[in-house]
Each structure stands twice: as structure tokens, then as C-alpha cells.
Amino acid sequence: MGERPREPRRFRLLRDEIWWNLREALREGDISGLEDAVTQAQLVSVQYGVNRQGQVVVESKEQMLAKGRRSPDRADALALAFAVTKGASRRVYAW
């Protein structure tokens, strides 16, 4: 997802914005019922930082692989599901 984010001053890439929105939804309790241990572990394994331009930058899959960590496929799927529904509803329920 190397596309341009909706808030380019705040996020470097669309992927960064989507992951940040997922982070905020989890923090605010907008996502409930997430009991899958693999997805939970993947969600907490992804790191983020801020670049020189002050934009949020989420660790890339390539960076994770270089550190010997696996791609967060399930967490990515959750992030994408939230991105699709964000405009329609802030509540997402996982089973």
C-alpha cells in the first residue's frame, strides 16, 4: 500500500494511516471480541515511529522480515477490514 494517505501531512503512506486508525480504534475500544492469539501477537509486534517530517511511519513488512519476524498477515487483514468500514461505522466486531 504505497498510495498517498488522506492526511499526507500526518502520515507518510496510506498503510501508515490505516494502521494508525486501527491503533486508535483498538485504544478507544471500538473493536471488540478479538480473541485470536495469533492476531493479537501480530498487532503488538508492529512498531511505529515519526520521521523527520513529523509523519507517522509504521514498520514495513520488509523491516520486520529483516529482524527475523514474520509478516503480520492477520493483523494486516484486520487493518484493511477496519479501513473499509471506517467511513460507515466506527464499531468493528471480530469473532
pLDDT for the residue 45: 92
Tell me the three state secondary structure of residue 47: coil
Give the Cβ contact number of residue 31 at 10 Å.
Answer: 19
pLDDT for the residue 32: 85
The model's pTM is 0.80
Domain boundaries, the chain: 14-82
Residue 87 has pLDDT above 70, yes or no: no
C-alpha span between 80 and 94 (Å, rounded): 13
Residue 64 has pLDDT above 60, yes or no: yes
What pLDDT, in 10s, does the model give residues 8-58? Answer: 999 999 999 999 999 998 999 988 889 999 999 999 999 999 999 999 999
pLDDT category at 86 given cuts 50, 70, 90 is: very low
DSSP string, 7-63: STTTBSSHHHHHHHHHHHHHHTT-EE----HHHHHHHHH--EEE-TTS-EEEPPHHH
Q: Is residue 83 a contact partner of residue 21, using CB atoms and an 8 Å limit? A: yes
Q: Is residue 78 a contact partner of residue 44, using CB atoms and an 8 Å limit? A: no
pLDDT category at 4 given cuts 50, 70, 90 is: confident
